[in-house]
Chains A and B, each alone.
Chain A
Amino acid sequence: MSLFVQQLVLGLMLGGVYVAVAIGFSLVWGILNIVNLAHGALVVVGMYATWFLFTHAGLDPFLTLPLDALILFAVGYFLQRVLINRVIRAPLFFTLLLTFGINLVLINLFLLWFKADFRSVTPSYAGTGLSLGAVTVPYIRLAALVIALVQAGLVGLFMNRSRTGFAVQAVGADKDAAQLVGIDLRHVYALTFAVGAACAGVAGGLLSTIQAISPTAGEPYTLQAFVVVILGGLGRVSATVVGGLLFGLIEVLAQSQVPGLGAGWSNAIAFAVLVLVLVLRPQGLMGRLA
């Protein structure tokens, strides 16, 4: 029983990671209609930023998160303003190709600068946890879950309470009408992508304390972010939170409870969830029908 509870706890915490990764992905997809295949690479930028600040400036990894967000905000603004804005009105999969190209360039730049070595960020409190009876709650993962939820809350506030957030929503609803009422499309597109990238940066900072850092460490997260968004439903922050937590639970429970499945099956599990949701409930658990 306590083993099962432990699995539930670990599943929720893994879900926190997925929430952190998927928030930015969901925003960019929902508003800009761009499936950003470079999202995983942006997460890795955040990982390397935290690693660099931790190793060379001795900063605590959690203190580097705002800096990660800032760096990635700038990178994201640049990418959208200079490159992706150019293909917004092209057929849909051109944005997929372009972001895949960006992904390829980023990964190989990491390879060039950091080599294929695995790096890690290990603060003094790594590996410690809170013991509640037979169940252990690792501090770092708990903090990651909390920060992911705070991050989701902030994005939700930005979207629903600020004037800029309304402009972003207007662009998401109808970009030409938004332009007619005086919204600067190029800027709002770049801004939205920048916020999405900043979220990826925070996710990367969190992940750097949890897993090994390598140039391709972000690859699985693009597909998983996609599955999270499909599972929860497109277009709402709360849906992404539910989707992320649920997906974390599903993955941990499937790997621990279903005989024959192990850590090597995470992509296959993600894919199975994806197909099931797309067939049974294509709008996602909390999504509105298009």
Chain B
Amino acid sequence: MARPAFSTQPSRAGRRLRRAILVAFLVVVAVVLVLPLTLTQQAADANLDPTTLGIDFAMNKSIVRTETTIAMFVALAAAWNLIGGLTGYAAFGNVAFFGLGAYTVGYLTDKLHLSFALALPLAPVVAAAFAGLIGLPLLRLRGHYFAIATLGTGIAVGEVIKNLDVFGGATGLFPPILRHADALFFYLMAANAGLAVLVTWLVLRSRFGYGLIAIRENEEAASVLGVNTTAYKVGAFALAAALTGLAGGIFAQWASFIDQESVFPIQYNVEMILMAIIGGAGTLFGPVAGAIVLEWLILELAGGGASAVYAQIGLGLLLAVTVIFVPRGVVDFFGGSSRLTLGYLRRTLRETSV
């Protein structure tokens, strides 16, 4: 008799532990959200009095920078989760939407001299429109075909933009620099991350979300039950693209310089997937947890130079270990009731090996 992989009711001790974790989590979130304000306030004060500029100033800037980057990846991983985790379509090219969002803001601010506030709302619109356009043919594909077709999208869009002089060609685009806006960019990224989680939460509770999960579990059955699979899939794809494009748009202004390499990096595709999977694909907070832990690790490890090579090797090994041993993600054994034991690892290994 096969025993169920998870039981749905956590034990009382489990509930207490989860409540404690939640409280600790909220405290950390509060600190993280307030920190940039005080840090950049110091920075702004320091800027008025140049004599105090020093190591603290640089440290503070770097902390805010780290937080902003992590918030960005939370949004990317949560957005990927909509199409990859909920709908079960292994999108490998979401970086296309990131880059399109970034280039939308870059083009409008650099070439058309629009203000950032006016340009930013267009980033998700452009990304979502593109997702709808390519989603119609691509989402008819399944499995590997969809995965590689989207991977190709990510590469091709970047290459096309690089070859068009309107978009700055190989030189790239230079949105005008906004000064003393470190905190602003952090809050924009954090708001986008929050938005991504909120959207996931709403989707998970909606008819739309049930439709997506039905598609993931069995697309033919979902279709027979009356789910308009094409509309649902394209909708999920466009939603993910909008959130990713918004992150790209904020990034463009934050970086104040973009080119093909900086906003179409292929490894982002896999990083956001890995974050979602390590955390637990298809869950609400899994991608968030995965993004925070993994991006923090990446930023800590990648000091540049030779250590960057080791960081990449570490990332590759982590990828291998994750997919081999914990394919259901850490949220499965922290949030669920299965525990991280040798037995759990052995069981998942046996389930997936030939």
- Which A residues are closer than 8 A to B by beta carbons? 29, 33, 35, 83, 85-94, 96-98, 100-105, 107-109, 111-112, 175, 185-186, 189, 223, 226-227, 230, 264-265, 267-268, 270-272, 274-275, 278-279, 282
**What are 17 contact pairs spanning A and B, CB under 8 A?**
A29-B144, A35-B144, A86-B324, A86-B353, A87-B323, A87-B327, A91-B327, A92-B144, A94-B323, A94-B352, A97-B277, A101-B323, A189-B354, A223-B155, A275-B134, A275-B138, A278-B145
- Determine if B141 is an interface residue (Cβ-Cβ < 8 Å): yes
- Given the interface pairs A90-B323, A264-B162, A267-B156, the reply to whether A101 lies near B148 with Cβ below 8 Å is no
- Near A by CB (< 8 A), chain B positions 112-156 give 134, 137-138, 140-141, 143-145, 147-149, 151-153, 155-156
B319 touches A89 (CB 8 A): no
A196 → chain B, closest Cβ, in Å? 15
Which 9 residue pairs are nearest across A and B when measured between Cβ atoms?
A101-B319, A271-B156, A104-B316, A93-B90, A105-B316, A90-B352, A101-B316, A271-B152, A88-B354
B270–chain A nearest beta-carbon distance, Å: 5
Chain A residues in 8 Å Cβ range of B273 = 93, 97
Report the interface size for chain B: residues with CB under 8 A from the other chain.
47
Contact between chains at B141 and A98 (CB < 8 Å): no
Docked-complex contact B137 and A278, CB < 8 angstroms:
yes
Query: How many Å lie between the Cα of A268 and that of B154 in the bound state?
Result: 10
A185-B148 in contact given A94-B327, A98-B323 (Cβ < 8 Å): no
Given contacts A98-B324, A275-B137, contact A104 B155 (CB under 8 A): no
Least CB distance from A284 to B in Å reads 11
Instruction: Identify which of A102, A186, A264, A282 contacts B316 (C-beta below 8 A).
Output: A102
Complex interface: chain A residues within 8 A of B301 (CB): none
Task: Please measure, in the bound complex, the distance between the C-alpha atom of A109 and the C-alpha atom of B316, giving whole angstroms.
Answer: 11
**Given A90-B352, A92-B144, A175-B354, is A267 in contact with B319 using a C-beta cutoff of 8 Å?**
no
Closest to B84 in A: A93
Assess the A88–B155 pair: CB atoms within 8 A: no
Residues of A within 8 A of B277 (CB): 97
The distance from the CB of A234 to the nearest CB of chain B, in whole angstroms, is 10
B313 touches A223 (CB 8 A): no
The yes or no answer to B293 lying at the interface (CB within 8 A) is no
Given A98-B324, A268-B160, decide whether A88 and B352 contact each other with a Cβ distance below 8 A: yes
Among A97, A102, A105: residue with most chain B CB under 10 A: A97
> Do the beta carbons of A86 and B352 come within 8 Å of each other?
yes
Contact of A271 among B143, B153, B267 (CB under 8 A): B153
| A290 CB, nearest partner CB in chain B, Å | 10
Given A85-B353, A93-B147: A104 in contact with B327 (beta carbons within 8 A): no
* Chain A residue with Cβ nearest B154: A271
Q: Is the CB of A108 within 8 A of B309?
A: yes
Chain B, residue nearest A230 (CB): B145
Cβ–Cβ < 8 Å partners of B151 in chain A? 223
Interface pair B313/A108, CB less than 8 Å apart: yes
